[in-house]
């Protein structure tokens, strides 16, 4: 779904799609938390998203082409997957995290992934994007050797949680 938007400004066009708090947090949870089902997103929300807001944001993200929704038969859960345009938001999400590290109060447990993404820079972002393409779009990723970006992010988070 392509919307003309309020102006021809690329920043405005982006903000109209991803510019509210809940949309970015839903994308974060699918992207970094591998939460793909409504109940996972609802139960795993650190910020306590309401079910009606989550439902609305999922519908908007699908309509905007940032998530796809697998058709579910009765009694099955619908699975949400990132699309290529959503995967290309990884550098933006990493930069938002970096800004938050420097300018906002955060907790040690919830800042570790942002710190790792900041330290890893564009190489880590590209590797993570390849992993997302593999898991969400079934596009095989190149072998980078060693632990994957996803494994490194998960390990950093688990270690921070163990220290808490």
pLDDT in single tens digits along all 164 residues of the chain: 455 667 889 989 999 999 998 999 999 999 999 999 999 999 998 899 999 999 999 999 999 999 999 877 777 789 999 999 999 999 999 999 999 999 999 988 888 889 999 999 999 999 999 999 999 999 999 887 889 999 988 888 888 888 86
In terms of C-beta distances under 8 Å and separation of at least 24 residues, what long-range contacts does 137-141 make, across chains too? 137/81, 137/82, 137/83, 137/84, 137/87
Give φ, ψ of 111 to 5 degrees: -100, -15
pLDDT at 5: 62
pTM above 0.85?
A: yes
List the beta bridge partners of residue 37. 79
Residue range 111-150, pLDDT digits in tens: 888 999 999 999 999 999 999 999 999 999 988 788 999 9
pLDDT at 8: 84
Domains and CATH numbers, the chain: 10-82 (1.10.10.10), 88-163 (no CATH)
Q: Tokens for 100?
A: 């938050």
pLDDT at 7: 81
* CA distance linking residue 104 with residue 16, whole number of Å: 24
């Amino acid at each position: 779904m392509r919307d003309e938007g309020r102006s021809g400004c690329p920043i405005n066009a982006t903000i109209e799609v991803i510019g509210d708090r809940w949309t970015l947090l839903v994308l974060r949870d699918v992207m970094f938390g591998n939460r793909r089902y409504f109940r996972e997103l609802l139960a795993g929300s650190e910020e306590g998203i309401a079910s009606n807001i989550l439902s609305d944001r999922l519908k908007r993200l699908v309509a905007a082409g940032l998530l796809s929704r697998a058709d579910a038969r009765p009694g099955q859960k619908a699975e949400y997957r990132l699309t290529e345009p959503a995967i290309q938001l990884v550098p933006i999400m990493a930069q938002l995290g970096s800004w938050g590290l420097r300018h906002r109060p955060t907790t040690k447990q919830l800042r570790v992934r942002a710190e790792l993404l900041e330290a890893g820079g564009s190489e880590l972002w590209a590797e993570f994007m390849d992993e997302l393409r593999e898991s969400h779009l079934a596009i095989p990723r190149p072998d980078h050797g060693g632990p994957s970006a996803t494994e490194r992010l998960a390990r950093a988070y688990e270690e921070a949680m163990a220290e808490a």
